[in-house]
Structure 1
Amino acid sequence: QTAEQTVTLSLGQVGTLNLDVAGGAAATGQATAGATELGDIVVTGRRMFEVRTPEVATNVTQQQINNLPQISRNFLNFAALAPGLRVTEDDTERTISAGGQTAQAINVFIDGQNRKSLINDGGVAGQDDSRGTPFPQGAVQEFRVISQNFKAEYEQAGSAIITAVTRSGTNEFHGDAFVFYQDP
């Protein structure tokens, strides 16, 4: 008997896969004569609700990052997709704030590493007095904005956490180009 169910796990989500292989193994763990070998398990599918954590979070997928237009190519601007977050930018600074608190109450983690700049008034690299971007938009696979009930592992933040995962590489040469042209 074959059964198929497709599940997608986004950044920070946990899922449980229960396999029931009747007659495949005895209670002692020894293989029986009628045991069969399982084939490949492919995990893909529709969005699921996280039920194992009290975090209030917004996931931004690579598809959204690639398809939503923005001129600065800074992935941190997509944090504005999360409710309660505000991204503002002028000629001298970029600020990300959440929950009515200052920009210093947010922290960014990229591949698990804290990107809080303690030298720059507690701001995050790529915001406040810095015009730089910690990573280009094309290097980010997906990220998550956690606005409430984040775990203690996320340090130095009071209002929101932005966690990003960079894209995995391949053995093939490839790349992306971004061009901005304005007719004079």
Structure 2
Amino acid sequence: MSGQNPVTPSPDSLVASIKAANTRGLPPVEKWDPPFSGDIDMEIRADGTWWHEGSQINRKKLVKLFSTILIREGEKYFLVTPVEKVGIRVEDVPFIAVDFEATGSGSDQLLTFVTNLDDVTEAGADAPIRVERDPDSDEPSPYVLVRRNLEARIDRKSFYRLVELGVHHDGWFGVWSGGVFFAIIPSKDLPEG
């Protein structure tokens, strides 16, 4: 990407740019359209940890700041500020849903998830739950939309709790949240008993 930007993108330049934007809450990244500045050696691993140049970023406050400027375009992920846009790698999805609370029951149930970075999302029409299955092992991987088009993988303990809340509806076994039924598995595929 030489010639596009004389300054090599770095986490420090991203932090400086976001501080200069002086935003409260989530930055309005959808309004920012800076030129692509290149890729940086940053990765979000499948376990939700953030890494830069082979070292884990252990400062949660810094990781949370970076997560607020994360966007996804197609299958690619970028950190974006008003003045630069850099590509990063994401092994699976950027967040892990580490817990949830269920209120109400039946179709009035509401599932509120919390991520590893303290994001809160209520599953429903605007934040769907989906389950992918590994084609070889048939192991389920459940996800919930957190914001924009960024998802969290629901951790194993939370998924087991979701299954405990599951009900049969229209030939499927799944869960209700926000007035929407989210299918997990066809009822016919459930083991007997």
TM tier relative to shorter chain: under 0.3
Structure with more of its chain in helix, by fraction = 2
Q: Give the structure with the larger strand fraction.
A: 2
TM-score (norm 1): 0.24
| Greater RCO structure (CA 8 Å; 6+ sep) | 1
For the pair shown, which has the larger CA radius of gyration, 1 or 2? 1
